[in-house]
Structures are given as structure tokens and as C-alpha cells.
Chains A and B, each alone.
Chain A
Amino acid sequence: MSGGVGASGAYTADEMMTVTAARQLTNGAVCFVGIGLPSAACNLARRTHAPGLVLIYESGTVGARPEVLPLSIGDAELADTADCVVSLPEVFTHYLQRGRVDVGFLGAAQIDRYGNLNTTVIGSYSHPTVRLPGSGGAPEIAAHAREVLVIMKQSPRSFVARVDFLTSCGFLGGSGERGRAGFPGRGLQAVITDLGVLRPDARTEELKLTALYPGVSVEDARGATGWPLAVADDLETLPPPEAGDLRVLRELHARTEAAHATPVRIKLPAAERH
């Protein structure tokens, strides 16, 4: 599935995914944002229906309003547009651990049927087949944010029955295990993919298919999932992106590409020139 055509013209599956993710965010929420797809979705939301969304990046930039999407989590664009910039220990202890974050928005290399995340290794830890970047801020975001959203492309390699490595806790083994462990946050509330949306079952906490994009079938979603994917009774088909959302998203990406292609020049004092 590579997208579709709606009333507002053709769109890609990536655009549908980002627009759907943005729609999950409510105006005024305080959101701890991961880099990449989460950052694109959060900034689209802030520029459309949620202008009061407060974005916190782990670089300590609180209330960032970037004009272009940052390539790294600590680009100058985030600091220059923030309400304030605090230290890394402060953002993780005083903001996140203290319970001041409503939504944690993450990506991952692998997610399992109970929403546990792996960003550490494929294969064994001591002799990995693929060494991934690691934890970063995700374990504490997944623990402390009031709720967690995940955005990632769906495939049998990334949506697995059991993660190779548990980096960040979702519902652990499900059926209330997370709650009994005493986590303050409610945990994962939605996984937004390039095919649709998965949400945890109220009782078992296993992820099930609750929404599809136009033109995507249940079989497509099941074929891209590494466990027997359950389907919600009230499965819905989401509307295609609106023209306004697509325009804002495309402008954001165009500004970002132009900014990242600009050569850097560093002015050296005459004595330092070679």
C-alpha cells in the first residue's frame, strides 16, 4: 500500500501515517517528543488543530516551536524557539519523573503484541546480529508519561510476538501486569502505522487492529504483523488526509530539506586561517 487518492488529491502512506498520528494529540497537552516520525507528527499537530501543544525534547528544550524539523534531538532550531532550555538531568527528573508530561511519543525498531519496545539489539545482547542505538530517553518516557503513543511502519520483522530485547516497558505480559508493577503512566494507548491504528484490548492489553486507512484490508494488516492480529468489533476506516493537513506537512518537509542542505561556513580569525 503506497498511499491513495482522496478528495484533496493523492497522498502517500507516510503522509497518512503522520496525519493520523498528529490527530491523536489534543491541544494543550504536554508532549515529550522522540526524533524522526514522532517529531513530524507533533509539529504537524501544533501547526494545525493543536497550536497550544507543548513540545519537550530530551535535549532540555521545553515548549519548542521549530519552523523546520530538527535532524537531531538538539538542533539549534529547538533551543531558539523554546520557552526555556533546561539541563538533561532536569528535564528527565523535574519534568518527566515528577509527572509533568501528558504524552510520550516514541518510535522503535521492534514492538510486540503487548506494546513492549526494543531499540537495543536484534539477536543476543552479548553477541548481537544488529546493534541498535539503545535506550536514549525511551525507558523513562514509557514509564512516566501519562500515556504513550508509538509511530512505526508495520512489518512482520518489526511487529513481533515477543521483542528480542525489552528496552522500554509496555504492558509487559499483559492482563494488568504493568498496573500491578506500579507504573505511574497508563502506558501505550495507540500504535500508528503505515496501514492503520492498533490499540490495547481493555482486558488482555494485547494490541488489536482498531482502524485502517482507505484501501487497506484486514489481510494487509495481518500480513504485516508477526502475531495473529485480533481485530476490534468496531473497526473503522479513517478518512484520507485533509487538504490543509497535507499542505502544512509538505511545506514543513520542504523547509526542512532546504535547511538541511545549506552548507555550513565557520568564520575563523585571520590568525587561524590556513
Chain B
Amino acid sequence: MPLMRLADAIEQHVRDGQSVALEGFTHLIPFAAGHEIIRQGRRRLHLIRMTPDLICDQMIGMGCADRLTFSWGGNPGVGSLHRLRDAIERDWPQPLTIIERTHAEMGVAYQAGASGLPCGLMRHYADTDLDRARGAQMRTVTCPFSGEPLLAVPAITPDVTVLHAQQVDRNGNVLIRGITGAAREAALAARCLLVTVEARVERLDAPLNALVLPHWLVTAVSVVPGGAHPSYAAGFYERDNRFYLEWDQIARDRGRFQQWMQEHVLSSRDHAELLARLRVAA
């Protein structure tokens, strides 16, 4: 587990055209890592995230992605993700191919990927219009024991999974506390696992069944305090609900969005400088 600067981790491990899962369900969203991918100008990424949230809105609006796998594409509690909508509705800044799932399907797909299986299974009763729109992406199969119809969900196996976590210990083991979403499954499904953490500690002092990612699964760790802002890191800081509300206005207009990204993300050397510009650093 090399401990390295975030810029170096992204430079070395994220390539144009790769599939990149950024997970963390409302909590621990890897904003700092996503911003660094934007700064380094990656293109044609296949982004994978259950709830694209503001980070994928920003990456899509900045032209990093031509494909998105997701299950709920809104600004939580606020409304639309305007950059995502602009890409789907008007191909701006470029066409975006969407691979749409339900939350439950995403969970099963990550579990299958993490288990080395080609697909996962779920109960299925009637086709929705999403099933019809997806065509052969999803298939129903018959249980060989009970004869029941089941939905087969293709596994998700990202080239790279990016997570934010609370702590890394001196040996490189990573601890995630609180709401985890599908972080564990996304980590284990990937070929390459990049993690940003709030802090480096001697020992994790975690219960034995806590969500610890052992050091040899982690490709690189970067210490980035505040790396999940404007989402949150339990035990470190709260969710910046005001920023989520403000983003609705910033992202509505293409010009205002581009100006905001230029003034905040692109012209900041790193996440600490961005937090200072946003006046949330103390």
C-alpha cells in the first residue's frame, strides 16, 4: 500500500477510457479524488456511481465521461442534477451513454463483481419500462431448483474504484465508519482501489467486524482532510447541505457552471486550497 499524494495516485492509476466507480452513499463521497481527475483532464471515462451526486455532475459537465452507470441521478433533497440532465437531454458538452439500474440491482451487481461471478440474481415479477428500455442488458433466468423466474444482473467490475474513508493505520489498513452504501462491494469488485482518508493513525482501534479494507487490497492511499466535502465524513464533519442547495443555482447555467469550476476546482492546486476558497476550512 503506497501512501502517496492524491495527484500522483490519479496520475499513475486513472487512464482515459477506463471504467471508474466512485462510491460512498451520500456519505464519504470522494470529491477530492473526482476533482483531481477533472484537473488532470481525463476523458472518455465510464463513470459508475449509484447516486451520481454533485461529483459526477461536475465530471460530466467538464467533459470527463462518455458513459454513466447509475441508479438515482438527482441532487438529494434538492432536485435535478442539471449537468447530468443537460448531457442526457441536449448532449452537452458531449453525448452521454447511460446504463441505468435500480439501487437493488447496483448492489447485486457490485456483489457479483466482488464475488467473481458474471452476474447476480434477484426476484422479478413483471417487466418495467426500464427493463424494456434496457433490452438484452438484463435477462430473466429460471431457477433450476424452484422453477421461479429470476432477474440476472450483469456484474460490475470497475477498472478503478475510488473511495473516501476516515482512517488509514501505519500498515495501510483502511477503516470506514457509518453509512457504507456499497463501498465494500465496489472495493472488492475493482482491479485497482484508490482511497483518500481523513487521517493517518497508528492503530484503527476498530471492532473486528468493522469495515476494514486490508492494506494489500488497497493500491494507493492519500491523506486528504475534508476530502468528502460537500458530502460528509462521520466523526469529522457534517454534510454541507447549504452547498447542495447552492449547487442547484450554480449548475443550472452552462456559463456559470464553467466559471465556478474554473475559479474553484481548476485554479486550486489541491483540495485544501479549494476548501479555503469555499471558506469551509478552519
Against A, the Cβ 8 Å flags (1 = close, 0 = not) of B75-95 are 011101100110011000000
How far, in angstroms, from A61 to B26 measured CA to CA in the complex? 12
- Measured CB to CB, the closest approach of chain B to A184, in angstroms, equals 8
How far, in angstroms, from A111 to B178 measured CA to CA in the complex? 35
Whether A136 lies near B102 (C-beta < 8 A) is yes
| Interface size class, chain A | 35 or more
Partner-binding segment picked from B12-20, B167-175, B269-277: B269-277
Whether B237 lies near A87 (C-beta < 8 A) is no
Whether A274 lies near B272 (C-beta < 8 A) is yes
CB nearest to B101 among chain A residues: A135
Contacts of A126 in B (CB 8 A): 133
CB nearest to A136 among chain B residues: B72
Against B, the Cβ 8 Å flags (1 = close, 0 = not) of A128-171 are 11111111111110011000000000000000000001111100
Partner of A274, one of B78, B111, B236, B276: B276
Contacts of B123 in A (CB 8 A): 97, 143-144, 184
CB nearest to B282 among chain A residues: A265
Whether B122 lies near A97 (C-beta < 8 A) is yes
- Whether A227 sits at the interface, judged by CB under 8 Å, is no
7 closest cross-chain pairs (CB), A and B:
A74-B26, A133-B74, A89-B107, A72-B76, A71-B77, A136-B72, A92-B104
Whether B178 lies near A168 (C-beta < 8 A) is no
Against B, the Cβ 8 Å flags (1 = close, 0 = not) of A256-274 are 0001111111111100111
- Whether A181 sits at the interface, judged by CB under 8 Å, is yes
Which label, helix, strand, loop or mixed, suits the secondary structure of the A interface? loop
Instruction: Give the interface centre of B80, B129, B244 by most chain A CB atoms within 10 Å.
Output: B129
- Whether B4 sits at the interface, judged by CB under 8 Å, is no
How far, in angstroms, from A150 to B253 measured CA to CA in the complex? 33
Whether A143 lies near B108 (C-beta < 8 A) is no
Known: A35-B77, A71-B239, A264-B238. 14 other contacts (CB 8 A): A71-B77, A72-B26, A72-B77, A74-B181, A79-B178, A85-B180, A88-B182, A89-B111, A93-B104, A125-B133, A135-B72, A167-B128, A266-B281, A268-B226
Contacts of A272 in B (CB 8 A): 225, 272
Instruction: Give the interface centre of A75, A120, A130 by most chain B CB atoms within 10 Å.
Output: A75
How far, in angstroms, from A71 to B75 measured CA to CA in the complex? 10
Contacts of B280 in A (CB 8 A): 263-266
Contacts of A85 in B (CB 8 A): 178-180
Partner of B125, one of A72, A96, A127, A181: A181
Whether B128 lies near A88 (C-beta < 8 A) is no
Instruction: Give the interface centre of B77, B84, B128, B243 by most chain A CB atoms within 10 Å.
Output: B128
Whether B102 lies near A135 (C-beta < 8 A) is yes
Contacts of B258 in A (CB 8 A): none
How far, in angstroms, from A128 to B130 measured CA to CA in the complex? 14
- Whether A183 sits at the interface, judged by CB under 8 Å, is yes
Contacts of B257 in A (CB 8 A): none
Contacts of B126 in A (CB 8 A): 169, 172, 178, 181, 183
